[in-house]
Amino acid sequence: RDAVKDSFGVTHTTFSSPNNSTNVELYLTVVDVNALKALEGLGTTTTNTFVHFSSSLIQDMSGNSIVPEAGLQAFAVSKDDTPPSLMAWTMDLDLGQLRLTFDETVNSSTLVPSSLVLRSNTSSSATKQNLTGLSLGLTHEYSYGSSLVSGLVEILADGIEGGYSNEVSLTLTWFDLNTLRTNSICTQTTLSGFANFTVQDCFLELVGQSVDDMQSNS
């Protein structure tokens, strides 16, 4: 067969099959699935999905080891058609960094800053700050102009594979940070008369399409 561009070694799995059976189902861990999705040329169709295993993979009921295989093609591949979801996020005012954690690998170059809105609270009267701008077209590192000034919001991805990861970090400009502080957004304001008691003043709202996964689901 033709050489496969990318390869991936499974690290951990769980079983979901009877102990003795001709069919064995393996469930990959979230870490493995996200790492696999970051490889564009692997696991998307039957033409780029092959399995390699050694004789130590499994034995039959008589203790005979399986015949090793260097490239067995997949019979079928189910396409990922589920959009990514934001699972968690953090704001670090010291670093000036907004960190987004998704439930799967995303393509950081598709992130739309204008879909991210920081709010002081969840009420309709909340103070808001939008992150919007225009891509400058940098490779694996994308910059956007601030909606408040012509500063930059830098989009980075923690993943090694060309900006593909389930975590994306946005580094805000000094002006954006100072505006957040001025508008009491993400500052953890201390209430008068209540020592060490803080009010949550940092909320993130996603408006419209935010980011695509590796199969362009958004």
DSSP class of residue 40 equals T
Nearest 5°: the CA angle 182, 186, 192 is: 75
Q: What pLDDT sits at residue 7?
A: 58
> Per-residue pLDDT for the chain (218 aa), expressed as one digit of tens each?
444 445 566 766 666 666 788 888 888 888 888 888 888 888 889 999 998 889 998 899 999 999 999 889 999 999 899 999 999 888 777 777 788 889 999 988 888 877 888 888 888 888 887 765 433 222 223 233 332 222 344 455 554 344 788 888 877 767 677 777 888 888 775 555 555 555 678 888 888 888 899 899 98
Give the burial string for 119-143 (b: 16+ CB within 10 Å, else e). bbeeeeeeeebbbbbeeeeeeeebb
The helix (H) or strand (E) run that includes residue 31 is: helix 30-37
Q: What pLDDT sits at residue 142?
A: 29
pTM: 0.74
